[in-house]
Structure 1
């Protein structure tokens, strides 16, 4: 299972890491931490050295209740950073975390390689058309509503069935636009309460029947720190525990804030898989 990133085929049969580079002032964990060229380049270099295959740059916080960011502001935040990072690290594979086709288009023109859309086209009907034009991988996430409203929209008839139906429709739509490389993100924390997040993780393997790579984004999220009674800053150990579960359930990509720890988790998982012996008899 491979995806084409600016002409380079990346094999997802072995799990990969998508390192988060938030350049927003209000992200739930690292908001405002990377706000100048030096800190941005240092963090990018650190994540690449620690084992990130992709760098995910976002300029619009999608945390529950996040403030709306006008299009011009999102562009003002993200375009100089994409240019800066690719100038310093020309071989870096950049993913752009946006639901706006205008942002996607301008970033792809600068050399970004992947679009990560929290709405799977729901918030901008021109997004799939734009992704298809550039023929880049498209990460489609499940979410209901918007970052401002999703917290109140966690009602489901059957969580797993509802999401499988959602993705079936979205994949068909993307294929209709001739998008070749599709990655599915079930959207932990997006229009889902803590119990639903754990239910989703427990049954993540049921989405493998869609025959597409799965992305798991649980890093330092509330399903961890609320369960443990801590905070995002204290949620690294819990994050690592859930990363191992996600890998065992079929995740091909981990979207993380802490690349080194995630890489160690993947290495241990791979060693475990390599030494599995089936003792069952016919």
Structure 2
């Protein structure tokens, strides 16, 4: 025992030293496992390159697979860390490992520091290359032309509803929704305040994750009973709508545009049947994508 410390202080220091040694040991194990995971990610890339067909580029980022991994992380979490805290840690691990396979190029509407940039970093992690563009149309065009892998675009802003310009661009470009991102709403006295919502947009439709949404744009004549006719196929199959928005199509005053989100993936039999029935109606149907529900 030192002359300057009480027996209690010495006992405390001895216990803390054991705990710190334990933390150092765990840190070394975590470090080793992180490098093991990174090497496995590199091996995945090598296998995909080896089996690529001709000029077809291998797909390194799988949104549905990522959503499944993050859900599994939260399901098996035993604490004391919160489920979403652990999932965010794994989100960054996955981002770093994916960058070893192929760094993702992601574009978003500027300026920097906006909610859209926050949404991009939340969804893809800090290791993705996120690039700001000056217009929403440029964002869509950059993905369409393969100058970027994905885009993050705003679809719903707090207390203001859907962003119509985003819907207009979905009509014009052949891109798919492959993910959604929700940010926590600002503190508000309004009970109906919505979370700012963003969509991840890419060139390819994606497979099911097990907990998915599908989005459609439907354009039809502005006639009595049109909405009832459109919704009847959903009601018959007990398909839950999560969003329904109507507006003028913008091209013809006598036409109405419906934006619909509903639960399920287009690969599911009843969703496939629904799509077939909608296409038999006097309506233009544009499939925007089936994608995992927001995890974080």
TM-score in terms of structure 2 length: 0.28
- Which structure exhibits the higher relative contact order, with contacts defined as CA atoms closer than 8 Å and separated by 6 or more residues? 1
Query: Which of structures 1 and 2 has the bigger CA Rg?
Result: 2
